A and B are shown apart, each in its own frame.
Chain A
Amino acid sequence: GAGVSQSPSNKVTEKGKDVELRCDPISGHTALYWYRQSLGQGLEFLIYFQGNSAPDKSGLPSDRFSAERTGGSVSTLTIQRTQQEDSAVYLCASSFNTGGGASYEQYFGPGTRLTVT
């Protein structure tokens, strides 16, 4: 079956512009995550959606970052007034969490490479 997909694969934008990054999780997966991979920074958690629960936004670096998940499926990460330090690869992942308490395998998308000029 299809894996997690993300679009666009590459995005170049000018400083100060807004961008939207899209993630289509694996069908049926209840949880969706966004991570950021900056040069030399490793993978940084941004936000996590689980079913209809309030998202865990604890990793968002500033109020310029927001995300939503519509209909429990597709998610959009929005970065307003982009800055050069926002340049990174943004990864989306999904997992099927039954709430049994174990940490379930996260399946990652190919990522969106964002370059802010």
Chain B
Amino acid sequence: AQRVTQPEKLLSVFKGAPVELKCNYSYSGSPELFWYVQYSRQRLQLLLRHISRESIKGFTADLNKGETSFHLKKPFAQEEDSAMYYCALSPARGAQKLVFGQGTRLTINP
């Protein structure tokens, strides 16, 4: 069965500090991994996906198949990064449904 685990429900860091949101998954095949973000009073939206290998708003995430992890990182947190972050897995290309983790609420303190 596919499962996504985000061990931290809440994460609080100071502005300018590095931030890492953890995501681990269990799946026997080759999944696609995503990070979705929901800012206050806004819709859930895609932040980044592992196949793009890009940096969005200073965030990066590397898929580690050995550790089955897809941690989200940013070297210097900004106050506008405060939001709810969800890690998600798509079981296979072409199979579009997403399996989400429970989410991590990130708060950046001034």
Contact = CB atoms under 8 A, between A and B. Distances in A.
A12 interface: no
Nearest to B103: A42
A45 B100 CA distance: 8
Contacts of B25: none
Given A59-B97, A102-B51, A103-B93, A42 B86 contact: yes
Q: For chain B, give the interface size range.
A: 20 to 34
A59 B100 CA distance: 13
A13 interface: no
Q: For chain A, give the interface size range.
A: 20 to 34
Interface string B44-73: 111001010000000000000000000000
Nearest to A41: B102
A56 interface: yes
Interface in A61-117: 91, 93, 95, 97, 99, 101-111
Given A43-B44, A48-B97, A102-B32, 11 more contacts: A35-B100, A42-B103, A45-B97, A45-B100, A58-B97, A93-B44, A102-B93, A103-B49, A105-B46, A108-B45, A111-B43
A85 B105 CA distance: 24
A82 to B, nearest CB: 23
B110 interface: no
Contact of A31 (B43, B46, B51, B96): B96
A56 B97 contact: yes
Interface centre among B45, B90, B95, B97 (most CB of A within 10 A): B97
B90 A44 contact: no
B34 to A, nearest CB: 8
Contact of A103 (B44, B86, B96): B96
Given A43-B86, A101-B93, A106 B46 contact: yes
B93 A110 contact: no
